């Protein structure tokens, strides 16, 4: 729901993106990309009522500039309608990544006011408390689809029902309001909910959850990573948990002290020694050593993940511009989750009841990656794109765990594991949250792509992409962990190469509406850019997707 710049404001946007990219001809290439997109309208089947607004642009380590454009019709955003241009270092336009919609004609004057749409969403939610942030509403055009029978096939591009195959096909375009709400009222009511409401009748077209869950050197006694060094800030009275080496104003960690709103109070300490390494005792002080421990893990996890993105992928923080972010710990009472919020640009952690305190490193990396995804492909948190969104967080949360203790420009091959949240286990929930190598071990996730994925919770439809990444890095394994879709097996290319391919796919080739079939294309494009179309890495990507039934 971020503010988008119209093409008429392109010059202003180019100034900002040129600074981010650090390339002298970045602005010129982005301007050329904008002109190229407009020149291609007719070949894309679009009439003169269509326009494009720049979302973001960046020049990568290969000298290629990737510019994302939001498609509009008569000035109204088309939900999921995007185009990405790819301009090489010589200024040549490569094939575009297309997710556009050919709207021919549509009345873009709504029958309802935005305030009426907000009132309808409020009535449906019937919240127990107030909103954490003011709800947002935006007029959009929604492509509505139906299942159309086509021909026998068993590809990820199609849907199978026995011997009959069908495909999702756009049957109408509907003017709608996209409403985004955030309720953070503790264990009883923590929900981020989006609606698409018909802009004429108020009928609910869709509804889904967008709760993205899961310079002084101090010494931290962490719960999940042992004794760690923390970057803190020296003050007149002691030290504060603010990392002056990362973030434009220093990333920091705060204590909500069981509140469910606000920034919280930044942690302070007199001797720069933090935490006792033990799980937080519910009801005890959140500022004493035991209460500090959650802050130690959250602060450390943010630093490790920040360094991984910067040192390995060249990304300066969540938004690529080094903007300060922060972590809030001790949210509510016994809250069994952690979540990312774009509104506060922060991560929030509960103390847990069925789980231990939710500040394990792979969880911290997971939540921070939701922020990275929201600033790049912005994968919509529903259907297959929602499963891919969750998978990106699982993948890079796992890579952060492997990166723990490193400052290298590569991701190590050892030091982590292939489960998510295993350190949070308690007698009442004595297993990991997710298994990368065989997702179905959690009892709900799927091991391979099928038509049922779009109907699953995004935490379970993420399974096939998690397994695809495991295969890409480690190979297909043997016995119960092998893939029936790839009987001959495959050899993995290691953590570092696998992560680079998926990161480039996410940041350069995926759009908000990318499906599993689109993810395969994006990863193949990324492998081509990084290693060449005839490379072993390209072949490994193709095999890894084949192993999850996307071929």
The catalytic site residues sit at 367, 459
Quote helix, strand, coil % in the chain, to nearest 5. 30, 25, 45
The SS3 of residue 401 is: helix
Distance (Å, whole) CA 488 – CA 471: 13
Buried b (16+ CB within 10 A) or exposed e, 138-159: bbbbbbeeeeeeeeeeeebebb
Output the DSSP codes for 167-181.
EEEEEEEEEEEEEEE
Token digits of residue 18: 């040129």
Output the DSSP codes for 471-524.
HHHH---SGGGS-TT-TT------HHHHHHHHHHIIIII--TT--HHHHHHHHH
Q: What are the φ and ψ backbone dihedral angles of 143, each rounded to 5 degrees? A: -75, 115
Instruction: Show Cβ contacts of residue 335 under 8 Å, excluding neighbours closer than 6 positions.
Output: 186, 187, 190, 350, 351, 352, 353, 358
Q: What are the φ and ψ backbone dihedral angles of 152, each rounded to 5 degrees? A: -65, 130
Contact (Cβ atoms closer than 8 angstroms) between residue 372 and residue 318: yes
Distance (Å, whole) CA 139 – CA 131: 21
Distance (Å, whole) CA 302 – CA 368: 7
Question: How many helices and strands, by DSSP H and E, does the chain display?
Answer: 11, 23
CA–CA–CA angle 236, 328, 457 (5° rounding)? 165
- Comparing CA positions, the residue from 299, 331, 513, 313 lying closest to residue 395 is 313
Distance (Å, whole) CA 84 – CA 66: 7
- A 10 A CB-CB count for 91 gives 12
Token digits of residue 483: 């893939």
Residues forming beta bridges with residue 165, ordered by sequence position: 160
Enumerate long-range contacts of 149-156, CB under 8 Å, 24 or more apart: 155/517, 155/551, 156/449, 156/515, 156/516, 156/517, 156/520, 156/549, 156/550, 156/551
Q: Is the dihedral of CA 161, 166, 171, 173 positive or negative?
A: positive
């Amino acid at each position: 729901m971020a503010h988008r710049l119209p093409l008429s404001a392109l010059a202003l946007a180019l100034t900002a993106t040129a600074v981010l990219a650090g390339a002298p001809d970045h602005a010129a290439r982005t301007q050329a990309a904008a002109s190229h997109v407009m020149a291609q309208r007719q070949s894309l089947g679009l009439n003169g009522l269509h326009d494009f607004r720049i979302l973001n642009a960046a020049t990568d380590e290969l000298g290629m500039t990737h510019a994302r454009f939001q498609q509009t019709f008569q000035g109204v955003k088309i939900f999921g309608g995007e185009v990405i241009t790819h301009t090489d270092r010589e200024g040549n336009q490569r094939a575009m990544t297309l997710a556009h919609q050919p709207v021919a004609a549509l009345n873009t004057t709504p029958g309802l006011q935005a305030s009426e749409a907000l009132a309808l969403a409020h009535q449906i939610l019937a919240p127990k408390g107030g909103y954490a942030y003011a709800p947002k509403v935006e007029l959009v055009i929604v492509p509505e689809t139906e299942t159309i029978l086509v021909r026998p096939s068993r590809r990820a591009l199609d849907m199978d029902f026995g011997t009959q195959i069908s495909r999702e096909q756009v049957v109408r375009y509907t003017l709608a309001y996209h409403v985004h709400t955030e309720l953070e009222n503790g264990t009883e009511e923590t929900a981020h909910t989006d609606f698409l409401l018909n802009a004429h009748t108020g009928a609910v077209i869709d509804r889904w959850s967008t709760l993205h869950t899961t310079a002084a050197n101090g010494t931290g006694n962490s719960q999940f990573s042992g004794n760690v060094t923390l970057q803190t800030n020296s003050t007149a009275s002691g030290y504060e948990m603010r990392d002056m080496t990362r973030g434009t104003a220093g990333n920091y960690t705060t204590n909500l002290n069981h509140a469910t709103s606000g920034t919280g109070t930044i942690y302070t300490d007199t001797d720069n020694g933090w935490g006792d390494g033990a799980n937080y005792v519910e009801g005890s002080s959140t500022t004493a050593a035991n209460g500090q421990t959650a802050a130690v893990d959250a602060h450390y996890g943010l630093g490790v993940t920040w360094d991984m993105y910067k040192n390995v992928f060249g990304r300066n923080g969540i938004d690529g511009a080094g903007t300060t972010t922060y972590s809030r710990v001790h949210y509510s009472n016994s809250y069994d989750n952690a979540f990312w919020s774009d509104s506060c640009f922060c991560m929030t952690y509960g103390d847990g009841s069925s789980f231990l305190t939710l500040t394990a490193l792979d969880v911290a990396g997971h939540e921070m990656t939701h922020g990275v995804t929201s600033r790049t492909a912005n994968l919509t948190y529903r259907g297959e794109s929602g499963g891919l969104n969750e998978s990106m967080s699982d993948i890079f949360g796992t890579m952060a765990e492997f990166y723990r203790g490193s400052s290298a420009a590569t991701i190590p091959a050892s030091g982590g594991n292939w489960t998510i949240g295993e350190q949070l286990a308690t007698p009442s929930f004595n297993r990991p949250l997710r298994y990368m190598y065989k997702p179905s071990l959690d009892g709900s996730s799927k091991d391979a792509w099928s038509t049922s994925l779009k109907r699953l919770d995004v935490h379970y439809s993420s399974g096939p992409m998690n397994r695809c990444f495991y295969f890409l890095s480690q190979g297909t394994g043997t016995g119960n962990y092998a893939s029936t879709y790839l009987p001959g097996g495959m050899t993995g290319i290691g953590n570092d190469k696998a992560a680079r391919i998926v990161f480039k796919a996410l940041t350069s080739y995926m759009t908000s509406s990318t499906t599993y079939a689109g993810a395969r294309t994006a990863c193949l494009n990324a492998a081509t850019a990084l290693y060449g179309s005839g490379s072993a890495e390209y072949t490994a990507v193709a095999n890894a997707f084949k192993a999850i039934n996307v071929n």
